[in-house]
Amino acid sequence: MLGLAALLALAAVTASGGVALAKRPVPPPTSSQTCTLTSAGVGQPMYLTGGGFAPDSQYIVYMSTPAGTGATTVNTDSSGNLANGNFWTTWAGTYDAQIYTEGHRPSLVASCSVTV
């Protein structure tokens, strides 16, 4: 019996081209995802927080700032909350964050902004 299980595992790895199988997909978005951007002003850290996301998952954040745009990823905790303070408000103006699911067809699940 143990030999059969090992043979089936080997067949699965061989069928996938020797590549590890894909990670568990993020559940489809619901309307409960929310985010908030806060900052104490120009030259201060900007915090992205939110809730209602899939637990222990990763999302893509597209950030639009007075200086341009960029993208990064954020992770959620086991309760589906996110907290990230790796952003800085270098210029006065509006900062927008759009949070998307990862994958072949990312979808927008939350957006928020702050003006400093």
pLDDT digits (tens, 9 = 90+) for 21-53: 444 454 554 568 999 999 999 999 999 999 999
Q: How far is it, in rounded angstroms, from Cα 99 to Cα 72?
A: 10
Q: What is the per-residue pLDDT for 31?
A: 62
- Topology of domain 26-115, CATH: Immunoglobulin-like (2.60.40)
Structure tokens, 37 = 């951007």
> Is 0.85 surpassed by the pTM of this model?
no
Among 55, 61, 114, CA closest to 84: 61
Please compute the mean of the pLDDT values over residues 55-76 and round it to a whole number: 95
pLDDT digits (tens, 9 = 90+) for 68-103: 999 999 999 999 999 887 799 999 999 999 999 998
User: Using an 8 Å Cβ cutoff, are 99 and 111 in contact?
Assistant: yes
pLDDT at 109 over 50: yes
> What 3-state class would DSSP assign to 80?
coil
* Bridge-based pairing state of the strands 45-51 and 34-39: antiparallel
DSSP 8-state assignment for residue 116: -
- Neighbouring C-alpha atoms within 13 Å toward the C-beta of 35: 29
Q: How far is it, in rounded angstroms, from Cα 63 to Cα 41?
A: 17
